[in-house]
Amino acid sequence: MAAQIFSAIFVIIIGVGGCVAYFWGANKLLDLVFPSRGVSGSAAVDNLRRQGLVRPWLFVGPAMIILTIYLIYPVIETLRLSFLDRGGEHFVGLANYQWALGDHDFRNSIFNNILWLAVVPAACTFLGLIIAVLTDKIWWGTIAKSLIFLPLAISFVGASVIWKFIYEYRGEGQVQIGLLNAIIQYFGGQPQVWISLPFWNNFFLMIILIWIQTGFAMVILSSALRGIPEETLEAAVIDGANPFQIFWKIMVPQIWGTIAVVWTTITILVLKVFDIVLTMTNGQWNSQVLANLMFDWMFRGGGDFGRGATIAIIIMIAVIPIMVWNIRQANKETGGH
Amino acid sequence: MAASTGKSFVNRFGVHIAVLIFVVIWTIPTLGILVSSLRDKDQIIASGWWNSFSSSSQTEAGRLPPASAQTQKDGKYVIEGNVFGDGAKRAISAFGTKAAAPTQYKAGTAADLGDGVSLQVNGDGSFVLASPKAFEGDRGQRVYYASSAPPKFTTDNYDAVLFSEGIGRSFMNSLTVTIPSTIIPILIAAFAAYALAWMRFPGRALLIAVIIGLLVVPLQMSLIPLLKLYNGVGTFFGVPSKTYLGIWLAHTGFGLPFAIYLLRSYIAGLPREIMESARIDGASDFEIFVKIVLPLSFPVLASFAIFQFLWVWNDLLVAMVFLGTAPDQIVLTAKLNALLGSRGGNWEILTTSAFITIIVPLIVFFSLQRYFVRGLLAGSVKGG
């Protein structure tokens, strides 16, 4: 273990030192090759221009190399692998995609993913908005917000354990140590094994993600609400609008853009949700989702890279519309800079 | 903002109640594992954690010794003893002889069982069964009693989990993964962000678009090719394919798009005059970056560092693909996932391990919440 700590510290020093050395050294080298000081006027101008051509690439170079290896090349390679067999050796055309369409688990995953997409972003945004509006009105709102925001710092695995404890089931008549079944039994209901009830178990898993992400929605929307000009709200009050009308007709339309951002951010997260399903059910009882199915195929029976890659591509296809929208938004915003 | 609405007392009261309900729902789950992790492991299964501050009481059943144990005393036949036998004693609050009424009599009182037979069970478990006639049969009297154990809190679970379940080792592994993975991307991203914000070069707009596109590329797209690549590199150089170096670089790669995006939008917003006056004074881009941009960007660097730290610490997927599951490599999240499988019913272990995995993020979160929120706002509001 000491060796491990030592090597971690060593890597931090090497990594940071290496970065500093690279940036500083490359820059120095550039100054040496194309000197701008101590040479005649026209040569200096020429060299400055050459420096200006090269230097940006020295700055973005390391980032570009890493991005290429870790993201750009894999995207292309995954696309290629999705047309190959399990070992990635023989071309099989669309066989993997055909398999996916007919596979029970895959169809179940698609169905569940659509369910997640329909429920989680909407629930988080809605709850986040309500809490943001309510906490703005009270003196202890900041404390309340921190507490609701807190689950965002908790890992999906940790959150899964927390909620598994809440859903814990003991036989009927026994002392229920899971909060949910205890409440149900207190009111005379029948305790259930919540996470193995097909179809409904999806919702019990979704609650975990909603619990985590509502704080995110709340913080973003709360800051957007603060940006609403006072006058529009005052005018609405003078006109006799009730709080609900103010909320739906004045506030919500003004922060529509932010709502869309929150919604799409959570949508992407939902498409990638993996940890919660793995730890709670590992896809049993019809609760499979694409990301977990993909992980499963990566390692099942030594791994089927063709099918795994195909599932990854399906997730990617679902993300592309949001990606395009993001790029267009960003272009609009940075157009002037 | 909303001072003008909801002025009536009832309205304001309603808002307080509503927020309180939300806060309670959002904190109860975490509180549950914190409390449970500190409880005695026998009590965790005996009562819900919300009852942990009251004595946990449970109804138990036992059988008194058979007729052979009787003695004669004052002309009566008497069987004496303790319902707990030689085992651990608990406090008894009530007892009974019928399953339908297990707590019919208070402890310390004598129950009349008919035919002159009386049974007294005391709070400490000792009992006296007396009868004018001799007892017969080799099956003793059935007795039910409500026993209660005082609330017991302990740090034993933490000892057990940290040292014998391997969580302590995993904690170190998580730190080993997280700290380099947080620090390395910062400098690389900062230089790139500065170039993308303030330097002119062909292809800059395209590069920015690519980075914004990469922001949302699912990690799943990268896993298989990188796994193959790592296996290939490992075989080629004859080294293991699952190494800390591998995961440090992977986290660096996966964190870079967000880092560059976040830093760029901040650095681009720095006042142009500062850069230009420095340039007129003869400072090169490198000097401007190191002496002006880096110090001014401290808040956003802190934001990113917190994000990346939490992300890497909480990550399960990357760790499961790029690190092994041996004790010297398994990180906290993966260890917790493994414990869920192997120790599924041992809630004292699961709740304690879970609390250890979330304690570091919670500390980081509470102490640096300001930067975290700032990063969230900058990262998602501007262009998404």
Chain B residues within 8 A of A230 when measuring between CB atoms: 1
Residue of B nearest to A157 (CA): B333
| Residues A268/A134, Cβ–Cβ less than 8 Å | no
Q: Which pLDDT score is estimated for B2?
A: 45
Q: Is B272 part of a structural domain of the chain?
A: yes
| B163 contacts chain A (CB < 8 A) | no
- Residue B270 carries which side chain, given as an amino acid letter? L
Q: Which pLDDT score is estimated for A128?
A: 94
Residue B135 phi, psi (nearest 5): -75, 150
If asked whether residues B86 and B37 sit together in one domain, one would say no
Domain residue spans of chain A: 2-81, 96-334
What does the DSSP 8-state code read for residue B188? H
- Residue A91 carries which side chain, given as an amino acid letter? F
For B47, the token pair is 């009562």
- Residue B344 carries which side chain, given as an amino acid letter? G
Residue B129 makes CB contacts below 8 A (sequence gap 6+) with B64, B78, B79, B80, B117, B118, B119, B135, B141
Residue in A264, A263, A270 with CA at minimum distance from that of residue A126: A263
Q: Which pLDDT score is estimated for B3?
A: 46
If asked whether residues B374 and B312 sit together in one domain, one would say yes
Q: Name the helix (H) or strand (E) containing B332.
A: helix B332-342
Chain A residues within 8 A of B214 when measuring between CB atoms: 67, 71-72
If asked whether residues B226 and B246 sit together in one domain, one would say yes
> Which parts of chain A have pLDDT scores under 50?
336-337
Measured CA to CA, the distance from residue A160 to residue A207 in angstroms comes to 10
- Whether A66 and B313 lie within 8 Å, measured CB to CB: no
- Whether A327 and B212 lie within 8 Å, measured CB to CB: yes
- Whether B358 and A23 lie within 8 Å, measured CB to CB: no
If asked whether residues B87 and B174 sit together in one domain, one would say no
- Whether B183 and A237 lie within 8 Å, measured CB to CB: no
| CATH 1.10.3720.10 matches A96-334 | yes
User: B149, B171, B202: which is the final residue of a domain?
Assistant: B149
Interface mutation target, options B170, B221, B356, chain A, most CBs of A under 10 Å: B221
Q: Which pLDDT score is estimated for B10?
A: 67
Residue A168 neighbours by CB distance under 10 Å: 22
- Between chain A and chain B, the number of residue pairs with CB atoms below 8 A apart is 376
Question: Which residue among B336, B376, B384 places its CB closest to the CB of A264?
Answer: B384
If asked whether residues B205 and B333 sit together in one domain, one would say yes
Residue of A nearest to B244 (CA): A8
Residue A26 makes CB contacts below 8 A (sequence gap 6+) with A58
CA distance A137 to chain B (A): 6
Question: Which residue among B188, B195, B210 places its CB closest to the CB of A56?
Answer: B195
Measured CA to CA, the distance from residue B237 to residue B249 in angstroms comes to 17
3-state secondary structure at position B56: strand
Q: What is the CATH number of the domain that holds B247?
A: 1.10.3720.10
Q: To 5 degrees, how large is the angle CA A209–CA A210–CA A213?
A: 80
If asked whether residues B363 and B248 sit together in one domain, one would say yes
Tell me which residue range forms the domain holding B17.
9-52
Measured CA to CA, the distance from residue A280 to residue A112 in angstroms comes to 15
- Whether A4 and B176 lie within 8 Å, measured CB to CB: yes
For this complex, say whether ipTM is above 0.85: yes
Q: Which pLDDT score is estimated for A14?
A: 83
If asked whether residues B224 and B136 sit together in one domain, one would say no
CB burial of A109-135 (b: ≥16 within 10 Å; e: otherwise) equals bbebbebbeebbbebbbebbbbbbbbb
Q: Which pLDDT score is estimated for A155?
A: 92
Residue A328 makes CB contacts below 8 A (sequence gap 6+) with none
> For chain B, what is the domain count?
3
Chain B residues within 8 A of A127 when measuring between CB atoms: 22
> Which parts of chain B have pLDDT scores under 50?
1-6, 381-384
CA dihedral A97, A99, A105, A111 (to 10 degrees): 40
For A91, the token pair is 């071309």
